[in-house]
């Protein structure tokens, strides 16, 4: 069984080096090109899909749409779930990562960005950014919607969704493409590769690059590979890793 993961292309807030989380920002021109390139790579490598999954956030939705356009598969069924949203960065959302490092220190920002179980400062209940006050989450159980999340919290919502919903479809023979976010995809990487808490903190996922997992019948990973130019992929991974450093 194969599964393809794609992190959304560069967003407007990626470009500005801002904590984004559940803020629903769009792709940049670069991000749109990255998404199209991902679809072109998948087409060139002979991939086809039966079912797609994405989050409630437009940067992931539009990445998926642009990739499917290149694959000539815009008619495919797409399932959207807030369970695949990015990690919620709480009150950090909208802050510049480098400026936050200047104010609080690189180590504190590293902990907020890359620790396993430390939550960011939480939103207040009456904050307009509270997902319980946003239209796209009107059907979600309010008690499940976060005011801020650690990576551990993100894993706790992403992995059960995969296990209960996506894995079942794959076992029924469906070829699946997931377009999501850095941390929701890291949650899956943690799960698939059985990483430790320390190991997952060092994982960075590049934007707009298809990541292909192959599993055996017992759901052990037998192959993992990124598609595309290794040098470009390496540079993108380093760029993600450096986002929280002082400028």
- Weakest-pLDDT range from 122-131, 177-186, 207-216, 225-234: 225-234
Q: How far apart are CA 116 and CA 107, in angstroms?
A: 14
- The torsion defined by the Cα of 166, 172, 176 and 180, in degrees rounded to 10, comes to 0
Check whether 181 is labelled as a binding-site residue.
Answer: no
25, 19 contact by CB (below 8 A): no
Check whether 172 is labelled as a binding-site residue.
Answer: no
Closest listed residue to residue 77, CA positions, set 172, 2, 176 = 176
Q: How far apart, in Å, are the Cα atoms of 95 and each of 31, 99, 130?
A: 21, 8, 16
For the chain, domain boundaries: 2-242
Split at pLDDT 50, 70, 90, the class of 199 is very high
Beta bridge partners of 54: 80, 179
Residue 232: its pLDDT value, please?
87
Split at pLDDT 50, 70, 90, the class of 110 is confident
Residue 245: its pLDDT value, please?
58
Check whether 173 is labelled as a binding-site residue.
Answer: no
Q: Which CATH number fits domain 2-242: 3.30.60.50, 3.40.640.10, 3.40.50.880, 3.40.50.1240?
A: 3.40.50.1240
Q: How far apart are CA 168 and CA 145, in angstroms?
A: 25
Beta bridge partners of 77: 51
Q: How far apart are CA 25 and CA 60, in angstroms?
A: 10
Is the pLDDT at 211 greater than 90? The verdict is: yes
Is the pLDDT at 247 greater than 70? The verdict is: no
DSSP for 118-170, written as a single string: PPPPPPPTT-TT-GGGSGGGTTS-GGGS-SS--HHHHHHHHHHHIIIIIHHHH
Check whether 8 is labelled as a binding-site residue.
Answer: yes
* pLDDT tens digits for range 10-28: 999 999 999 999 999 999 9
Split at pLDDT 50, 70, 90, the class of 233 is confident
Whole-prediction pTM:
0.94
Check whether 13 is labelled as a binding-site residue.
Answer: yes
Q: How far apart are CA 80 and CA 220, in angstroms?
A: 26
* pLDDT tens digits for range 46-103: 999 999 999 999 999 999 999 999 999 999 999 999 999 999 999 999 999 889 998 8
Q: How far apart are CA 188 and CA 228, in angstroms?
A: 21
Split at pLDDT 50, 70, 90, the class of 114 is confident
Is the pLDDT at 241 greater than 80? The verdict is: no
Residue 246: its pLDDT value, please?
54
Check whether 9 is labelled as a binding-site residue.
Answer: yes
183, 22 contact by CB (below 8 A): no
Residue 243: its pLDDT value, please?
62
Check whether 21 is labelled as a binding-site residue.
Answer: yes
Is the pLDDT at 230 greater than 60? The verdict is: yes
Stretch 168-176: mean pLDDT, rounded?
97
Residue 84: its pLDDT value, please?
98
Is the pLDDT at 244 greater than 60? The verdict is: no
Give percent of the chain with pLDDT exceeding 70.
Answer: 97
Check whether 22 is labelled as a binding-site residue.
Answer: no
Phi first, then psi, for residue 4 (nearest 5°) are -110, 130
Active site residues: 8, 86
Check whether 59 is labelled as a binding-site residue.
Answer: yes
């Amino acid at each position: 069984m194969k599964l393809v993961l794609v992190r959304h292309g560069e967003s407007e807030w990626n470009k500005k080096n801002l904590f984004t989380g559940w803020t629903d920002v769009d792709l940049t021109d670069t991000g749109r090109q990255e998404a199209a390139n991902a679809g072109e790579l998948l087409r060139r490598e002979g991939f086809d899909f039966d079912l797609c999954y994405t989050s409630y956030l437009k940067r992931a939705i539009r990445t998926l749409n642009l990739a499917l356009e290149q694959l000539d598969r815009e008619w495919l069924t797409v399932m959207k779930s807030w369970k695949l949203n990015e990690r919620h960065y709480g009150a950090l959302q909208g802050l510049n990562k480098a400026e936050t490092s200047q104010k609080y220190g690189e180590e504190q920002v590293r902990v907020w960005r890359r620790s396993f179980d430390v939550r960011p400062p939480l939103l207040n209940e009456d904050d307009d950014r509270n997902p319980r006050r946003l239209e796209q989450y009107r059907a979600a159980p309010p008690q499940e919607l976060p005011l801020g999340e650690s990576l551990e919290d993100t894993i706790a919502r992403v992995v059960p969704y995969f296990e209960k919903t996506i894995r079942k479809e794959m076992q029924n023979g469906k070829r699946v493409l997931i377009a999501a976010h850095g941390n929701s995809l890291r949650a899956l990487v943690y799960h698939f590769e059985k990483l430790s808490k320390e190991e997952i903190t060092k994982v960075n996922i590049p934007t707009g690059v298809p990541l292909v997992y192959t599993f055996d019948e017992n759901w052990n990973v037998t192959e993992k590979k990124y598609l595309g130019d290794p040098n470009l992929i390496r540079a993108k991974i380093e760029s993600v890793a450096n986002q929280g450093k002082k400028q």
